[in-house]
Structure 1
Amino acid sequence: MSGLVSFAARAAAFSIVVQPLLASAQPAPEDDAVIVTAARFPERRLSAPVGMTVITAEDIAAESARSLPELLARLGGLHVRDNSGNPDLQVDLRGFGVTGDQNTLVLVDGIRLNENDLSTTRLSAIPLQSIERIEILRGSGAVLYGGGASGGTINVITKGPQPGRRDAAGLFGIGSYATGDARFSANLAGERFGAFVSGSHLESDNYRLNNRVRQDNVAGDVRYAGEEGSVALKLGSDVQRLQLPGVRDENQIASDPRGTATPGDWSTREGNRLTLLARRGFGNVDLAGDLGYRDQLATAYFRSFASYNEARLHGLTLSPRLRWSGVASGIASTLVAGIDLNTWDFDRRFSADPASIGTPFATTKASQKSSALYLQLNAQVLRAAKLALGWRTQRVADELVQTGFFASSQRHSRSPRAGEIGLQVVLAPRWTAFGRLGTSFRVATVDENGFTASGGLLEPQTARHRDFGLEYRNGGLQVRASLYDINLDNEIYFSPLVVPFGANTNLSPTRRSGAEVFARAPVTRDFDLSGSIVLQSAKFKYGTYGGVDVAGKDVPLVPRALVSLRAAWSLPGRSQLVAALRYVGRQRYDNDQANAFARLMPAYLLADLKLSRTLGEWTLSATVNNILDKRYYSYGIVNSFACATPVCAYPQAGRTIFASVERPFR
C-alpha cells in the first residue's frame, strides 16, 4: 500500500504545481448547473459528493464511441471486456474481474438495469442520443440502491422534453465491416406538458465472422411539470439479433483471428422497460416515488453443443422516498428516507435445439423478493465540513427450482445491511479533502446459485470500504486523487479449484485496493485536456481450494493499470478534432486463480481520432478508431476445454473507420 500512498502524494503534488499556472481561470458556470441524483433527489453538482464523475450529452456527442460501454471506458476511467462477441461488454469498476457486472450497479433514471443472472448488463438497449448525462459514483452505492454496488454505481439519466421546444434531429452513418447506424430524436413540449422520443438502428458484420448484429432501440418520455411537482412516464424497448463467433486459440489468433469455429451459434434478446416517476414539494419536504417494470426474453443456440435455452424474466420495483431539508440544532441538514420493494421472476428452459423447446430436458425457475429501508443524513457540521451518514437494512428471499441433471428445490431468506460515514472538508479555497468508510453486500444470482460447490444456495457477499482523497477545482481546471481499499468476505465467485471442473462458491477473504487520479484542464479557450490514471490490485488474502494455496495471489482479469488521455480542439470554421488514447495494463488470464500460468494477458494501447465540421445545419463527422491498427484482446482464458492451446481469447477489431452526417430540424 505504501506504493499507492506515494502515488497519491505525487498526484497531489501535480495539482499543486498546476494551480498557479491556471489560477486566473474563471469559475465554470456549468459546474453548478448540472443536476445530479446521488441522493436519489436532484441537487446541484457542487453539492454532490466529491468523487463523482459526470459525463454530459455534449461529451457524448463529441466522442468517437458508438456504444455506451465504449463511452464509459474512454470517459469514465473504468474497464470493459468482450468475453462473448456481444456489444454489451462487461463493465468493471475497481477491479472485480469476471464478476465486474455483478459488482457494478447500473441504473437508468434511478431504476436498476442489472438482472439477477450472469448475463451482461444490456447497455446497448439505451440509445446514446437519449442520454442527458451519466453519473459515475465510485465505491459503494449500497445504502441508497442495495446490493451489487461494491465497485460503484453508474446512473444513466435519459432526456426529457425541453419546455417550449419543438425540434428533432437525425443521424446516419456507415463504417467498416458493413456497419450502418441510424438515430433520431424528437422533442415536442409546451411550458407544462411535453414528450421526447428517440430511437436507433444498428447493423454490422463486425470484425469476426459469424458476429453480425442487428440492434433496434426506442425510448420515450412523456411528462407534466407543475410549479410544485412533476409526473413522468418513461419507456424503452430493444430488440437484438446477434451471431456468436466463439473463442480463438493461439494458433487461430496468429493465422486467422477473424475466423470462427461456431458458425451456427446465435442469440436473441427482446426487452421492455416502463417507469412512472412522480415528485411533489411541500415546503422543505420533497416526496418522490418510482414504479418500474421490466421484462426480457432471451434465447441462445450453441449448435456444436446441441444446446438451446430460452429465458423469460419480469421485474417490478416500487420506491417511495422523501427528503427533508432544514436546520436542526443550528446545523443545516438534509435527510433522505425511503423504501425499496422489488420482485423478480425467472423461467429458463433447455433443449437440444429451438424446435424441441416445448419438451425441455431441464428447466430453471427462480424468484427473488426484497424489501429495504434506508436513511441518509447530510449535515453541514462546520462551515467548511459536511458529514454524511447512511444506513440500509434489506430482507431478500430467494427461491430456486431446477429439473434435469442439477435437479433441486431450495429457498432461503437473508437480511444483509449496509452503512456509510463520510466527511468532506474544504481545506482552502479550491481544495477539498474527503473520506468515507462503508459496508456493502451482494446477493448471488440465479445462475450462481444454480451450480455451487456445496450444492446449497450461496451466502451474501459482504464488503468493507475505505476511500480517501483530495480534489482541486479552479474554474474549468479539476484534479482529483484518491485511494481506496475494499475487504470482502464470502465473495461470490466461480473457482475452477473447488471441485473438478469448478463451481460457484463463497471465497475466503479477498481484497481490492487502488489509486485513482482524474484531471481536466482547459489549456486555452480552444483546447481542452482530460485524462485519468487508475492503479488497482485484487488479491486473495488467504484460502486453500482443491489443495492449492491462493494466499496473496492475484484475482484474474484485473488490469494493473488503466490510463486514458483525451484532447479536444475547437478549430476554425466550426470544426472540432478529438484525439483519445487508452491504455490497459497486463492482467491474469481467466481461470488462473492459482497464478500458475507463466504468462500474463498482454497490455494494449488504443488511439482514436474524430473530426467534425458543421456546415449550416449539417454536421459531418469522420472517426478512425484503433488508428494504430493494434492487434489485441480484452478477454482471455487458460486451460479451457474449448481450446486446443493453453490460451483462448476473443480477438478485437483493428483499425476501423466510421463517417456520419447529422442534422437538426426545427
Structure 2
Amino acid sequence: MPFSRRRLPFGFLVPAPRPVFLRLLFLLWPACLGLNAQTIALPTVVVSASRTAEAPEQVPFSVTALSGEQFRANPASSADGALRSVPGFSLFRRSDSLSANPTAQGVSLRGLGPSGASRSLVLLDGVPLNDPFGGWVAWSKVPRESLAAAEVVRGGGATAWGNAALGGIVQLLTESPGAAHGRLAAAYGSFATHNTEIAVSQPLGTGTLQLLGRDFASDGFTLVAPEDRGPIDHPAASEHRWLSGRWRQEIAGGAAFTLTARTYDENRNNGTPYQRNASQEDFVSVALAGATGSTFAWDAVAYAQDQSFASTFSSVNAARTAETPASDQFAVPAEAFGAAWTGTWKRDQARTSAGFDWRRVRGETREHFTFSAGAFTRERVAGGTQEMAGLFFLHERALAPELRTTFGGRLDAWRETDGHRRETERATGNMLRDDRYADRDGVELSPSAGLVWQPAAGWRVRAAAQQAFRRPTLNELYRPFRVGNVITEANAALETERATTAEFGIEHTRDALSLGATAFWNDLREAVGNVTLFRGPGSFPIVGFVPADGLGRQRLNLERTRVQGLELSARWTPHATLSLTADYLYNDAKVRAASVAPGLVGKRLAQVPRHVATFGAAWRPAQSFTLTPRVRFLGQQFEDDENLQRLGAALVVDLGVSYRLNERLELYLNAENLTDERIETGRSADGLFNTGSPRLVLGGLRFAW
C-alpha cells in the first residue's frame, strides 16, 4: 500500500497520503483559485438498467435517479444514508456505514437481500463495489463532492449485469475529468467527527487529470443501548481515507481513454476494546469509449483490485465488565479481476445493446480461534476461487407511438475451484481438519421483458419481469464465524439462488404534481439464510460447543421465500422555491418452504420491516438559503429468522441547512436524528439491544472554483 502510517489509540494503523500527493495538490491549488466556478449540466438519462444511456421514461423497471447536487444536499452524512431516501433501499441492518461493521453493510432492495452478502449489485462507475470475498459494500469509498449521479434500479438489471444483480442495481457515477474546476468540502461536528473531501480536475497537455480524496475520523458513539451498557462498552471510533487519480485523454478515432487508480484504508473500533477491523485496497481500471456516427457506440473496461481485511470478535460476560476473545480474523486477502465490453446499435425507433463481461475473484480467511489460557490455540485458513463469464443482449423498440417493448437474455457460465478449509493446532502444527471441496460449475439463463405504455399525456403504465441468479460468496461457502455467543457454520454445498421477479407500475404527472404506484412480486428459490439449529449450552453436531444464551446456526438454502408489496410515491412542486416528496413501501417478505427448518415457514424474513415511509422537502425561502428536512418511519422488524427478537419502530427526523455566501462558497449544517430517537439496530439472544446513531450534527463549508 502506498501509505505511511500512524497509530490510533485503540491500536490500528491508519494511512496518511504520501507527500508527493500533497505536493501535487498544493501545486494545483493556486491555478485553481483563479478559475471560474462551473455548474456541470447532466443529461436526463440513466445507464444502469441496460448498461447504456436511455431516457428514464423508457425503462420498464422502477428507477430512481439522484443528481450529484441532490446527493450533496441530502442531510445524511454518509452515501448509504443519502440513499435511504429512495423507496426500498436499506442495508442489512438499520445501522448506517458510520457505525456498522463492514460485514453488515450489504444492500437490500425491497427486502430481497436481508443478509450481509448483498443480493443487489453496487457499482462505482461501472465496476463492482461489492467486496470480492463477502459481498458487502464499503460505502466509505464513495465520493460525494465529485459524484455526478446515483441510480437505483429496483427489481431489474440482471440481464445486463448478471450475478449479484438479483435484487437490482445501485450505481454511483462520478464526474468525468473535464474542464478545470474543483470542490473542497470540510465539516466538523458531534463525536469529534471531521471530514474533508476534495475534487480537482485540471487539463494538462492533451489530457485531463482529476484528483479526488477524503480524510474522515470520528470518535463514534456507544453501540449498546444505555440500559444494557457496562464498563466494557466503548464508542465505536472509525477513521478512513482514500485518494483517487484519473487521467482522461482523447485518442484516435474520437475514442476516449480513462485510467483510474485508487488507494483506500479504513480502521474501526466495534464497541469494545478488543473488537475492531481494518480494510485496505489498491484498485486500478482502464476504460475506453467510442462511437461511429450516431448509430453505433461502444465502451470497454478492465480492472484489478487487491485488498485485505482484518477483524476481531469477542464474547462479553453478562455484567458487561469483561470480554473474552472469540476469534482473530487477522488477514482476509482477496483479489478481483474483471473486464467488460458493451456495444449499442440504434436504428429508427429501435435500439440493441449487447456485450460480454468476465470477473474472477480469489480470497481466503486466515484466523485464530478457540481462546484458552490467554491465547488462541487453533488456526483456520479457508477460501477459494470464483469465476463468472457472461454474454447478454437487450433490444428495445417502439411497437406504436405510445408503446415500447424491451426484451433480452443473458447466458452466464460460472466455476468455483480450489475450495479449501484447513484447521491446525497452533502449538503443535497438528492438522485437525483438511477439507478439499470438489470444483463446481454451472450455466445460468437470465431473461427479461418489459412494456412501457403512454396512453395519454402525463400517463405512463409499465410492466416488467426478469429471472436472475446469485452464487453464494466465498465467505458464505467457506467461512464459519462467531459474534458473541452466536456461532454460524459455513456450507460449501450451498446451491445457487434464483429469483423470478415481476412488477406493474402506473405513473401520472400533471403540472407540478407527480404520483406513482408500483406493485411488485419476487419469488426467491434456494435463498441462503443463517438458520438457527441449536440453543446452548451444549455440544452439537456441525457447530460444536454453544455457550449458555448462545445459538448454533448454519448457512442453509431455503427452498422458497416470497417478497411482495407495494410502493407509492408523490412529488409536488407548488412553487419554484418549494418541492415536497413522499414515499411509502409495504413489504410482505415471508418464508414459503424450508425443509431444513419447517418451523420457519410463514415467518417474516429477518431485518425486513413491513412498513417504511419517507417524507422530504427542499425549501428555498431566500435565494441563498435552503432547508432540506427529511422524516423517515421504520416499522417493526425481526432480528432473527425465528421471529423471536423484535426490533421496535422508529421515527427519524433529519435536517439539512445551507447558506450560499457567493457563487463559490457555501456554508451548511446537517443534523441527523434531530430528536434523538431510539433506533434499535440489533438484539442478542439474551435480550441485549444495540442502537443506531443518536443525534449527529455536522457543520461545514463547500468551496467551488
1:373-416 deviation line (CA, Å, top 9, x unaligned)? 11111111211111111111111111211101663111211112
* Structure 1 residues 371 and 349: alpha-carbon distance in aligned structure 2, compared to 1, 3 A threshold: same
1:450-470 deviation line (CA, Å, top 9, x unaligned)? 259896421111111111111
Q: Which residue of 413, 422, 426 maps to 1:403?
A: 422
Q: Which residue of 581, 593, 612 maps to 1:530?
A: 581
1:213-261 deviation line (CA, Å, top 9, x unaligned)? 011022332212467332212232211011111xxxxxxxxxxxxxxxx
Letter in 1 for 2:564: S
Q: Which residue of 136, 139, 142 maps to 1:123?
A: 139
SS of corresponding position for 1:305 = strand
- 1:457 aligns with 493
Instruction: Give the C-alpha shift of residue 368 in structure 1.
Output: 0.7
Letter in 1 for 2:169: T
Query: Aligned ranges for residues 378-527 of structure 1 at < 5 Å?
Result: 378-399=396-417, 400-404=419-423, 407-410=434-437, 411-450=439-478, 456-474=492-510, 477-497=513-533, 501-527=552-578
Letter in 2 for 1:98: P
Instruction: Give the C-alpha shift of residue 488 in structure 1.
Output: 1.5
* Structure 1 residues 449 and 460: alpha-carbon distance in aligned structure 2, compared to 1, 3 A threshold: same
- 2:164 aligns with 148
Instruction: Give the C-alpha shift of residue 558 in structure 1.
Output: 0.6
- 1:62 aligns with 73
Query: Aligned ranges for residues 58-137 of structure 1 at < 5 Å?
Result: 58-75=69-86, 77-80=88-91, 81-82=93-94, 85-86=99-100, 88=102, 89-96=105-112, 98-99=114-115, 101-118=117-134, 120-137=136-153
**TM-score (norm. length: structure 1):** 0.85
SS of corresponding position for 1:447 = helix
* Structure 1 residues 382 and 203: alpha-carbon distance in aligned structure 2, compared to 1, 3 A threshold: same
Instruction: Give the C-alpha shift of residue 180 in structure 1.
Output: 1.0
* Structure 1 residues 296 and 386: alpha-carbon distance in aligned structure 2, compared to 1, 3 A threshold: same
Q: Which residue of 623, 632, 649 maps to 2:689?
A: 649
**Matched-pair contact (CA < 8 Å) for 1:333–1:377:** yes
Instruction: Give the C-alpha shift of residue 97 in structure 1.
Output: 5.3
1:146-166 deviation line (CA, Å, top 9, x unaligned)? 11222211011111123xx32
Which moved further from structure 2: 100-109 or 369-378? 100-109
**Matched-pair contact (CA < 8 Å) for 1:159–1:221:** no
**Matched-pair contact (CA < 8 Å) for 1:127–1:219:** no
Letter in 2 for 1:346: G
Residues in 2 aligned to 1:70 and 1:38: alpha-carbon distance in whole angstroms: 22
**Matched-pair contact (CA < 8 Å) for 1:82–1:90:** no
Letter in 1 for 2:693: A
Which moved further from structure 2: 412-421 or 71-80? 71-80
Instruction: Give the C-alpha shift of residue 557 in structure 1.
Output: 1.2
1:324-347 deviation line (CA, Å, top 9, x unaligned)? 1114xxxx3111111111111113
Matched, 1:237 2:263: yes
* Structure 1 residues 287 and 621: alpha-carbon distance in aligned structure 2, compared to 1, 3 A threshold: closer
SS of corresponding position for 1:347 = strand
SS of corresponding position for 1:102 = coil
SS of corresponding position for 2:153 = strand
Residues in 1 aligned to 2:630 and 2:196: alpha-carbon distance in whole angstroms: 24
- 2:360 aligns with 343
- 1:301 aligns with 312
Instruction: Give the C-alpha shift of residue 130 in structure 1.
Output: 2.5
Query: Aligned ranges for residues 368-379 of structure 1 at < 5 Å?
Result: 368-379=386-397
- 2:342 aligns with 321
Residues in 1 aligned to 2:572 and 2:206: alpha-carbon distance in whole angstroms: 38
- 1:257 aligns with none
- 2:678 aligns with 631
**Matched-pair contact (CA < 8 Å) for 2:133–2:362:** no
Tell me how many residue pairs correspond in the alignment.
Answer: 602
Instruction: Give the C-alpha shift of residue 661 in structure 1.
Output: 1.7
Instruction: Give the C-alpha shift of residue 577 in structure 1.
Output: 0.9
1:40-91 deviation line (CA, Å, top 9, x unaligned)? 1233444444521001111012111111110111245422325694375443
Letter in 1 for 2:703: R
**Matched-pair contact (CA < 8 Å) for 1:286–1:322:** yes
**Matched-pair contact (CA < 8 Å) for 2:132–2:335:** no
Residues in 2 aligned to 1:98 and 1:38: alpha-carbon distance in whole angstroms: 22
Letter in 1 for 2:354: A
- 1:221 aligns with 246
What 5-or-longer segments of structure 2 have no aligned partner? 1-39, 223-233, 315-323, 424-431, 481-487, 535-541, 544-551
Which moved further from structure 2: 606-615 or 214-223? 214-223
User: RMSD between aligned alpha carbons?
Assistant: 2.7
SS of corresponding position for 1:378 = strand
Letter in 2 for 1:658: L
* Structure 1 residues 357 and 133: alpha-carbon distance in aligned structure 2, compared to 1, 3 A threshold: farther
- 2:537 aligns with none
Matched, 1:594 2:630: no
Residues in 1 aligned to 2:661 and 2:695: alpha-carbon distance in whole angstroms: 27
Alignment identity in percent?
Answer: 21
Letter in 2 for 1:401: H
Letter in 1 for 2:606: P
**TM-score (norm. length: structure 2):** 0.80
Letter in 1 for 2:279: R
Residues in 2 aligned to 1:50 and 1:353: alpha-carbon distance in whole angstroms: 49
Letter in 2 for 1:207: F
1:92-115 deviation line (CA, Å, top 9, x unaligned)? 111135326421110111111112
**Matched-pair contact (CA < 8 Å) for 2:120–2:169:** yes
Residues in 1 aligned to 2:326 and 2:529: alpha-carbon distance in whole angstroms: 27
What 5-or-longer segments of structure 1 have no aligned partner? 1-28, 246-261, 640-644
Which structure 1 residue ranges, 4+ long, deviate > 6 Å from structure 2? 356-360
